[in-house]
Amino acid sequence: MMKFYIPAIMAMMIFSAAPALAQADAPATLGAAPEASAQENSPSQAPVLPDLAPDVLTDEPAEKETGSAPVNDGASTISPSFQPLLKGREPRKHNGKTAEEIFTTLPAAVQDQILQESQKVFTECNHYNLYSQFHDCECLGATYFEERVFVPETTKDVLMGKIAGECTSEPGVAAYAQQKCLSSIGLFFGGKNLDNFCRCYALSYAQHYKDNPVPDFRHLRNISSKADQDCMKKLPLNEIFVEPPE
């Protein structure tokens, strides 16, 4: 009977210790991809896109951005403040050309908007502690720049939904899940060694998040339950609840 109830208990304990999350009717998150209107997708004009929605994975308020967004002054291909994000990456190509090569052919206004959006994606990712733990912010900024250049008419929300899965940080997600498992469930099953279970739980949790990287409370609760069930099937009780060595 104990084994039957453990998954539900695990999920309850973990999320009772998690930080306060946004309400269910909060705006779309970074991973959401609402339909774009025909006007937004018009290839003749780059869309003016809304600001990114607040992250729902943290109870910390968004910090105000400091300084000005990168602007193309015509003297360099890419804004100096954004160049570090592109270094050390294997450049992708679209129709045989890299993003930087295509970027130089775009109108100045479109270049400015793409640079501002790309820097904003990177900056806002870093402003939210848990989101930046779940995602590689440099990867997000650089990948956003490349994909935005390849298809300039794509809306920001659609593009973020496309690249989120490419830039998840599995070590970061796993570290978060393991810490929650050990601290929350360890309180309930005090005196037991849950290292084996929490290691399994963390790896399973990270894989489920990578498969569908949506930073939403209900989604995180669902993948927590799935990770519980995965590990309860893999590990017998005598391997999960091991007495700590004296």
120's CB contacts (< 8 A; 6+ apart) are 51, 52, 65, 69
Rounded Cα distance, 162 and 140, in Å = 11
- Residue 156's nearest CA partner among 32, 57, 64 is 32
Question: Taking the model in full, what pTM does it have?
Answer: 0.61
Asked if 127 and 30 touch (Cβ cutoff 8 Å), the reply is no
The pLDDT-based confidence of 34 (bands split at 50, 70, 90) is very low
Half-sphere CA count of 240, side-chain side, radius 13 A: 24
**Which residues are paired to 193 by β-bridges?**
242
**Which two tokens mark 127?**
């402003």
* pLDDT tens by residue, 84-108: 556 556 777 777 788 888 888 888 8
The answer, yes or no, to whether residue 53 has pLDDT greater than 90, is: no
**3 state SS for the chain:** CHHHHHHHHHHHHHHHCCCCCCCCCCCCCCCCCCCCCCCCCCCCCCCCCCCCCCCCCCCCCCCCCCCCCCCCCCCCCCCCCCHHHHCCCCCCEECCEEHHHHHCCCCHHHHHHHHHHHHHHHHHHHHCHHHHHHECHHHHHHHHHHHHHHCCCCCHHHHHHHHHHHHECHHHHHHHHHHHHHHHHHHHCCCCECHHHHHHHHHHHHHHHHHCCCCCHHHHHHHHHHHHHHHHHHCCHHHHCECCCC
The answer, yes or no, to whether residue 6 has pLDDT greater than 90, is: no
Angle at 24 between CA 22 and CA 27, to 5 degrees: 75
Match 């990456």 to its residue by tokens: 89
| Model pLDDT, residue 200 | 92
Q: How many other β-carbons are positioned within 10 Å of the β-carbon of residue 15?
A: 16
Question: Taking all residues of the chain, what is their mean pLDDT, rounded to a whole number?
Answer: 69
The answer, yes or no, to whether residue 226 has pLDDT greater than 90, is: yes
Phi, psi of 39 (to 5 degrees): -65, -40
* pLDDT tens by residue, 161-218: 788 888 899 999 999 999 989 888 767 776 677 888 899 999 999 999 999 988 788 8
| Model pLDDT, residue 190 | 62
